Amino acid sequence: MQSTYKMDFTEELKKCVKCGTCRAHCPLFVELKGEPGSPRGRLALIKRLHDGKIKPSQELADIVYTCLLCKTCTVNCPSGVISDEIILAARDSLNQSMDQSVIKKALLKGFLTRPALLHSCMSMASLYQKTGMHNVLTKSKLFELLPDKLNAVTKIMPDVTKKPARSRIPVVTPAKGEKKFKVAYFLGCATNHIYPDVPVAGVEVLSQNGCEVITVEGVKCCGMPHMAYGEVDTAKEMAKQNMDILLKEDYDAVISDCASCSSTFKETYLHIFDEGSKEYEQAKQLADKTWDISDFLVTKTGIKPGTKEQKVKVTYHDPCHLKRAQNIFKEPREVLKNTPGVEFVEMKDADRCCGSAGSFAVMHHDLSMKVLDKKIENAQKVDPDYLATSCPTCTMQLSYGLKKAGSQAKVVHPVQILAETYK
């Protein structure tokens, strides 16, 4: 079995002793039931493919793609099996040996790589929501490619008529007060286009806490969505461009407000380039420099909040790519607890996946909704004004879930509440 994603399938698969512990932790298995829906089952089939006993097939691809990549099985595996990475590598391998379905190719290759197209599709999605003009949108490229997923997309997609963050933030924002750091702010696709208020707040908070902030231009999508669909080659191209741009100047840090982007920089790039290559060295440098924004605020700058009290009750949902991929979970809570007036309440199973996993919520809509319902139930029990989180796809999913449940609570990034205190 070949994969561009660096993976020694023989060694990694050997570690699985089939104890079944992962059955206890996988948020999808609870809903799917049946061994093929368990991480152990998926790995057993990938091993069989690796052993040459079965051939790539649509059925196998379906099973391998029915995974949130939430890492819950990985962090709980007694034998140290890195299931989520094996899944990523297997998807890449399947991609190389199978006919690509039109959906994936189009959605990813021509989509996130071209920011302008992304924005126009997002805007159209929003238009669709508002007017219900089915025929206008079914004519658009995206929805032609996603006929049966159309409903799912339009249900989850938020209102995206806002101007992208890129056009609202200057390239250079000076530090307010004494300058302690010069940082690059990576504008990820989703916060830039869908939740532009997040980077606007992020830049403000960093500048208030002694950072000169550069919203570096020319960057691409981090590549995580491509990787999730086994498009490692495309992801590599994006990685190269991002690394060239972000490492060109000697920034003290590269900051991201998106858990997936930061975990991709810190972890995933290292898995797609050959050790010893120039790109691998760059990936190491970028990994060392990358910070999640809450982590940077708590660990490096310290937080000096503004004076305007917020008087809100807030709970926090841990994105998989922050808690399990980066072991960051105290820091966003610290940001919230340091925000004047915030009453912080912990909800049950705060670190359980919300079921969004990028486009999983679209591709496996019903399943994703079952995972979401559990999350929303727990959130509603603490009755918050805000459900904070640090990932735009979680935000999209949680917002949809809250709305569906008739809740008034809003989903925000922790820095958005902190930013309000400076107003």
Q: Which residue number, 44 or 245, has a Cβ lying nearer to another protein?
A: 44
**Alpha carbon distance 203, 211 (integer Å):** 9
Q: Which residue number, 97 or 277, has a Cβ lying nearer to another protein?
A: 97
Residue 79 found at the interface with another protein (CB under 8 A)? yes
Q: Which stretch binds another protein (CB under 8 A): 6-14, 134-142, 320-328, 366-374?
A: 6-14
3-state SS class at 327: coil
Can you tell me which of 15, 141, 180, 304 binds another protein, judged by CB under 8 A? 15
Interior/surface letters 126-146, b for 16+ CB within 10 angstroms, e for the rest: bbbbeeeeeeebeeeebbebb
Residue 248 found at the interface with another protein (CB under 8 A)? no
Name the minimum Å distance from CB 370 to another protein: 14
Residue 97 found at the interface with another protein (CB under 8 A)? no
In the numeric block, which tokens belong to residue 338?
Answer: 């340091």
Residue 60 found at the interface with another protein (CB under 8 A)? yes
Q: Tell me which DSSP letter residue 290 carries.
A: E
Residue 304 found at the interface with another protein (CB under 8 A)? no
Residue 48 region by backbone torsions, left for phi larger than 0, else alpha for psi between -120 and 50, else beta: alpha
Q: Which residue number, 41 or 358, has a Cβ lying nearer to another protein?
A: 41
* Among the listed residues 312, 319, 315, 268, the one whose alpha carbon sits nearest the alpha carbon of residue 290: 268
Can you tell me which of 10, 101, 161, 277 binds another protein, judged by CB under 8 A? 10
Name the minimum Å distance from CB 20 to another protein: 4
Residue 284 found at the interface with another protein (CB under 8 A)? no
Residue 136 found at the interface with another protein (CB under 8 A)? no
Enumerate residues 30-49 that contact another protein by CB under 8 A.
Answer: 33-36, 38, 40-41, 44-45, 48
**Alpha carbon distance 223, 105 (integer Å):** 14
Q: Which residue number, 16 or 336, has a Cβ lying nearer to another protein?
A: 16
Q: Which stretch binds another protein (CB under 8 A): 21-29, 137-145, 269-277, 356-364?
A: 21-29
Q: Answer whether 71's CB lies under 8 Å from 324's CB.
A: yes
Q: Which uninterrupted H or E stretch holds 267?
A: none
**Alpha carbon distance 123, 16 (integer Å):** 45
Q: Which uninterrupted H or E stretch holds 168?
A: none
Residue 21 found at the interface with another protein (CB under 8 A)? yes
**Alpha carbon distance 391, 65 (integer Å):** 21
In the numeric block, which tokens belong to residue 225?
Answer: 């969505």
Q: Contact residues for another protein (CB under 8 A)? A: 10-11, 14-15, 17-21, 23-25, 33-36, 38, 40-41, 44-45, 48, 54, 57, 59-60, 63, 78-80
